[in-house]
Structures are given as structure tokens and as C-alpha cells.
Amino acid sequence: MAALTPELLALQLLVGLALGAIYVLLAFGLSLIFGMLTVVNFAHGAFYMLGAYVAFAVAGLTGNFWLCLACAPVVLGLIGYGVERFLVSPLYGRGIDYPLLLTFGLSYVLVEAVRIIFGKQGYPFDSPAALAGSVEILGNYFPLYRLFVVAATGTIVLALWLFVEWTNFGLIIRAGARDPEILRVLGIDVGRVWRLVFALGTAIAAMAGVLAAPLQGVTPEMGDSMLIESFVVTVVGGMGSLGGAVLAGLLVGLVVSLTSVVAPELAKLSIYALMAAVLLIRPQGLFGRAGLLG
């Protein structure tokens, strides 16, 4: 066990925030899709992985990280749009388990397809040259790329918040999570809204994949454990709550990273301990509304 010096603590806090940032982005999409469409999207981890692989392919062609960050969400947004349109939407009105099983199967198909195309082994993914190395803050050295991940996530979350609070489409999102039928009655094509929301959630997952790639490399299975942990985050934050996703994502990231200093073997377990503790006190999650699935 390493001695927990202030320097190490500060570093682990940043590591935890960066990990938490990835959780935030994944949970945000999961929560948005669940809140609007009542779809428990088990393909979200596979979309995250695909985003990283699109970035890997673009990086191989151009070597430009910023282009990766721009391309992956666009490509995955289109894929998400198509998945909702042709696979998920025919299942509406049949109960929550149908889209759950469909996306569960889809994630296997996507992971296997990536194994066939790119091979079973993973690849390292270089962080962009401009963000390599460390920066000194108050006498401590922090890896620049992790700071960037936290800042980029903060920017994305802020942009999404402004979008949801201040645009017409955001108003539709806020109302549609509560009462989709009244939107129909008021002339809004709810089916189209749902396709766009699914595409948006998928695009955010892709951005999370690109941001995570330099931290852990790309592998076909990189989305598997992230998906489960992101579900834990949405449960802790409250299913369908966007603010809850942000708070819970950062909380889980910090708990994992701090536990891994004190007792590395308990790091992953700590996520579930946190979930159990939160659910015992608040069964609907930190910000959830009770009975959303009822």
C-alpha cells in the first residue's frame, strides 16, 4: 500500500475526476435515452467502444486527434439514428424488456464485428502531442491529458445544459420526459424527437470513447465494464436525471480512484458498495423521481 501523501492524494483526485468525467458522459446519454424513450440501452458500451475505434481509424489516416474528436460523434450519431429508426422503434409499446434485449444482442454483434475488422488484440492510442506531459500546479505535477478530459467534459456538459434549458428542442426534451402524449397533441413529431435523442446520446458516448482512448487504449471489450459501471452511475444519480448523472459520475470516479490507492483489490467493488449504500437510503437514486418504471 502506498503512503497517502498530499501529492498522491491530489493526483488520485484528478485521476478520479477524469475517470468520473467518462462516466458522466456515458451516464448522461443513458439517462437521456431512458428518460425520454424508456429504453434501457445495453448497446451504449458498444457505441462508446465504436467511438474509440472510429477515432483509432481516423488517427491512423490523419494523425489528428482533434479530427477524431469531431468525426467519432458524427459517425456514431448517424449509427444511433439508424439503430433507433430501424431496430428500436418497431419495439415501442411492447414493454421495456424488448428494446433491452435487442440492444443487448446488438452490443454483442458490434463487439464481434470490431474483433473481425480490427482484430481481437487492443491497440495503444497516443494522446495528442499538445496534451502530452504534465503541468505544475502549486508544486504538484498533473498529467495534462487528464486535466483536458475533465475540462472537455465540463464544456460538453455545460453545452448540453444550455441546449436543454434554452432551446426549443431542449424544451421538448424536458416536456417529453414527463408526458410524450401531450407533445403529440401539440403537433410535435415525437418519433422524430426520439430518433434525435437516441442519436445525441450515442454521439455523446462516442465522445466519451475518444476521450478515454488515450487513457486506456482501444480494445473491443473496452465498453463492457464501462457500460455496467455507467448503469450503476445512472442508478446512483437517479434514472432519467441529468444532474444526477453528473454528480454520481464524478462521485463514482472519485470513490474508485481513492479506493485503488488504499486497497486496489477493492476498487471495482467500491462502486457497488456505493450503489448499495445510496439505494438503501434513497431507492430512487440521488435525484430520481420515484416510480419511473412503474
Q: Which stretch binds other proteins (CB under 8 A): 139-147, 151-159, 175-183, 263-271?
A: 175-183
Quick one: which of 64, 74, 189, 225 contacts other proteins (CB under 8 A)?
Answer: 189
Which range in 11-19, 21-29, 164-172, 237-245 contacts other proteins by CB under 8 A? 164-172
Does 187 participate in binding other proteins (rule CB under 8 A)? yes
Q: Which of 108, 117, 178, 279 binds other proteins (CB under 8 A)?
A: 178
Least distance in angstroms from the C-beta of 157 to other proteins: 20
- Of the residues 147, 164, 175, 292, which one makes contact with other proteins according to CB under 8 A: 175
Give CA angle at 102 (99, 108), nearest 5°.
140
Phi first, then psi: give them for residue 70, nearest 5 degrees.
-85, -40
Shortest Å, Cβ 241 to other proteins: 12
Instruction: Verify binding: residue 164, other proteins, rule CB under 8 A.
Output: no
CA distances from residue 267 to 30, 231, 262 in whole angstroms, order as listed: 23, 17, 9
Q: Is 263 helix (H, G, I), strand (E, B) or coil?
A: coil
168 near other proteins, rule: CB under 8 A: yes
Q: Do the beta carbons of residue 18 and residue 250 sit within 8 Å?
A: no
Q: Does 120 interact with other proteins (rule: CB under 8 A)?
A: no
Query: Considering beta carbons, is residue 220 or 240 the nearer one to other proteins?
Result: 240
> Would you call 179 exposed, middle or buried from its count of C-beta atoms within 10 A (0-12, 13-18, 19+)?
exposed
For other proteins, which is the closer residue by CB, 53 or 287?
Answer: 287
Is the Cβ of residue 57 or residue 183 nearer to other proteins in the bound state? 183
**Are 250 and 201 spatial neighbours (Cβ–Cβ below 8 Å)?**
no
Give CA–CA dist 59/62, Å, rounded: 5
Can you read off the three cell numbers belonging to residue 5?
Answer: 501523501
Closest approach, Cβ 172 to other proteins, in A, equals: 7
Measure Cα distances from 265 to 192, 206, 226, 262 in Å. Answer: 46, 29, 18, 9
Contact window for other proteins (CB under 8 A) among 103-111, 144-152, 171-179, 233-241: 171-179
Q: From the list 131, 147, 190, 228, which residue makes contact with other proteins (rule: CB under 8 A)?
A: 190
Nearer to other proteins, 181 or 265 (CB): 181
Residues in 67-86 that interact with other proteins by CB under 8 A: none
Instruction: Show Cβ contacts of residue 19 under 8 Å, excluding neighbours closer than 6 positions.
Output: 253, 256, 257
Q: Which three cell numbers stand for residue 54?
A: 472510429
| Residue numbers at the binding site for other proteins (CB under 8 A) | 168, 171-172, 174-175, 178-179, 181-191
